[in-house]
Structure 1
């Protein structure tokens, strides 16, 4: 398969002795290339591109196009599909296949609607370059949204959406490479968490003990469950005799709706979380209170087998849980932290108690131990010193072991 390069300008056409059109020798106009290719139906089509500054640039583009079409990239997609069109179709395919958690689908749709389609949607997919993506990312970093600037970590999440969509385009052989995968991103550092100290946590648990959701916050603090996991916890997933629970579902808030789905990570599904005796006792007392509520509502009670529910048995809204937590923190006069910091606090306490990092990672349901290490390494200063002393104590030494050098 071959092609040709040629020049187009406003000068009258000139031909050589054989009647073939000659390229204009003047330094104006632009260079084009063209070549034939057969589409998947077997029909011959012509691929033509222009706007190159030199014949060398046009030849390089010709060779790239020949390589692309030789790899089976669909010509009709290459010629017509815009970035906006592909992103929208990709999102619909993912939704139809059920490969998105509801909250992920909502965030992905927002990334496409608010950022990528306005910035890149008008480009033809086949013409999108790394420079185009770099300029769009620079625009995100400069402008963000009307209400606030985007943090580097937010830009990375938004970028990940585009990279995933274009990976799909490469897999389908619509484009030869993923320009988003080669874009430059600002380096980010995982922020250091600063959960409550044990004294602060104890003060909060004492202050909230009389609240209807007090046991919910105790379970969060003493197990490290995520908010959606504790809201979705069912009595069928709790064994109070063995003092253990299993995380099998999670509730996320999508708009005003509470949607039941899988836990956040695959490693978080069906994970076993052991309970201490005090937390198990609190759950027993909570169950008795819930039985009284069920009896009071009678036939109007919604039975979902939930450990933590509204008075009528219906699902709690995750955002309501967070707002209730903040109100209780303010009433107790404690240092303000996020609800999610109760999860960090559980990790902090376990690491301070000398629990192995691998055990902590599994208990929290992290997708990998690296996340646990990156998040909590700064909490290990005292633990490391204790470990060094404990290891040294196991090594027998002679009486002269402490002589100075």
Structure 2
């Protein structure tokens, strides 16, 4: 028996060959022992037992978890999670044996992410993804504990910043849009608060011109239509008649272009069965923003713009939550509470007007 010292790590390891049940021999390498004696004892035990344990690396678990995840989640969610594994977790933990990843390793990795000045929300998402991979490994009997869960997520305060356009800014932007379809698209986004995927999934069957209601019950990602993000996202949005008139004009222009009646299953923003591609939409949006000279926002920020618009109109929070498709009013408040203009001082000033001076009882000292 022979063991070796890993001078770079300051630990000991051994390499041996173990005979398997079928008569073949398998080379086994074990590393990470603090002392030479510990390495010798582990090698002796392995040779006596005669069975080599399965070596499970983090990369193996990550790939198995992604296979499981892809079959059970939406494509958009899978894309985000696989990116976290491929960009962050696998490069860092990939070749490590799962059983050798300790709590101290998780803490050091958290420190590395924090030092990189990455957004707090992204650091937290990376940690929850790492923890989910360990939970998957436990359920599949590859390991017995989750060091990420034992350490806990990072205690970082997230900086909230919601980017949006005021109504005046939106008016400047929309004046630069010279295409009927895109004009209708951006008007619908601003006055509905829909997500981009929900908007692209709309068909004419979802547009009720009699009630001025748009039905939202699906979403699109990479030209694939699926159910909405959550059950609460299934909703009916009452729209202003001005926007509905613009949509009616768009439908008539499509009929003229197709030289036939526009069927209910035709997409609203696109051509017959194909919605406008996200890359084309993004490119046209950037052009119109540049032409208008307004500040840059993302298309997703139309949701924030709609929320801001409603808040400035004095709309109650439950209505805003319903229009945005939030399942919990707390989500809406947590996202947009800082947009409410009322301060404590203003609230107290309002209290001053609750009673006229003559109505306030005066107490005389005895």
**Aligned-partner Cα distance in 2 for 1:224–1:77:** 58
Give yes or no for contact 1:352–1:382 (8 Å, CA) kept in 2: no
Shift of 1:186: 5.1
Deviation at 1:85, TM superposition (A): 0.9
CA distance 1:128–1:329, change in 2 (3 Å): same
SS of the residue corresponding to residue 275 of structure 2 reads: coil
Alignment match, 2:90: 117
Report matched runs for 1:164-243 at 5 Å: 164-181=132-149, 182-185=151-154, 187-208=156-177, 210-243=179-212
Deviates more, 1:280-289 or 1:203-212: 203-212
Tell me if structure 2 keeps the 8 A contact 1:204–1:329: yes
1:264 to 221, 224, 229: 229
**Equivalent residues of 2:204, 2:263 under 8 A apart:** no
- Tell me the equivalent position of 1:51: 33
In the superposition, the TM-score normalised over structure 1's length comes to 0.70
Match of 1:323 in 2: 283
Counterpart Cα distance in 1 of 2:93 and 2:57: 9
Tell me: CA distance 1:282–1:154, structure 2 relative to 1, closer, same or farther (3 Å): same
Does structure 2 conserve the Cα–Cα contact (< 8 Å) formed by 1:224 and 1:363? yes
Q: Could you tell me which residue of structure 1 aligns to residue 24 of structure 2? A: none
Q: Deviation at 1:139?
A: 3.4
Aligned pairs (5 A) from 1:3-402: 51-52=33-34, 79-95=54-70, 97=71, 99-142=72-115, 150-181=118-149, 182-185=151-154, 187-208=156-177, 210-253=179-222, 258-268=223-233, 270-295=234-259, 304-310=265-271, 313-382=273-342, 399-401=358-360
1:42-65 superposed Cα distances (whole Å, 9 cap, x missing partner): xxxxxx99825699xxxxxxxxxx
**What is the CA–CA distance in structure 2 between the aligned matches of 1:77 and 1:108, rounded to whole Å?**
33
RMSD: 3.8
Provide runs of 4+ in structure 1 moved above 6 Å: 383-393, 402-405
**Any idea what SS the aligned residue of 1:381 has?**
coil
Q: CA deviation at 1:304?
A: 4.8
Cα deviation for residue 78 of structure 1 reads 7.4
- Please say if residues 215 and 236 of structure 2, whose CA atoms lie closer than 8 Å, have aligned partners that are also in contact: yes
Whole-Å separation in 2 of the counterparts to 1:337 and 1:108: 25
Distance in 2 of aligned mates of 1:164 and 1:141: 20
Instruction: Give the secondary-structure state (helix, strand or coil) at the position aligned to 1:123.
Output: coil
Aligned equivalents of 1:114, 1:194: Cα separation in 2: 27
Distance in 1 separating the partners of 2:201 and 2:66: 27
Tell me the distance in 2 between the aligned counterparts of 1:84 and 1:158: 15
The separation in 2 between residues aligned to 1:50 and 1:331, in whole angstroms, is: 61
Query: Residue 287 of structure 1: CA displacement?
Result: 1.1
Residue 104 of structure 1: CA displacement? 1.7
1:9-64 per-residue CA deviation (whole Å, 9 max, x = no partner) reads 99xxxxxxxxxxxxxxxxxx98xxxxxxxxxxxxxxxxx99825699xxxxxxxxx
Flag structure 1 segments of 5+ consecutive residues without an equivalent: 1-7, 11-28, 31-47, 56-75, 144-148
Unaligned regions of 5+ residues in structure 2, if any?
5-10, 13-29, 38-50
Distance verdict in 2 for CA 1:172–1:278, change over 3 Å: same
Whether the aligned pair in 2 keeps the contact of 1:302 and 1:314 (CA below 8 Å) is no
Q: Number of residue pairs matched?
A: 330
Shift of 1:87: 1.2
Could you say what secondary structure the match of 1:212 adopts?
Answer: helix
Normalised to the residue count of structure 2, the TM-score between the two structures is 0.76
Which sits farther off after the overlay, 351-360 or 227-236?
Answer: 351-360
Q: Distance in 1 between matches of 2:86 and 2:348?
A: 53
Deviations 1:71-127 (A, max 9, x none): xxxxx99752211111111111222x3x22112212222222222122112222223
Displacement of 1:280: 1.5
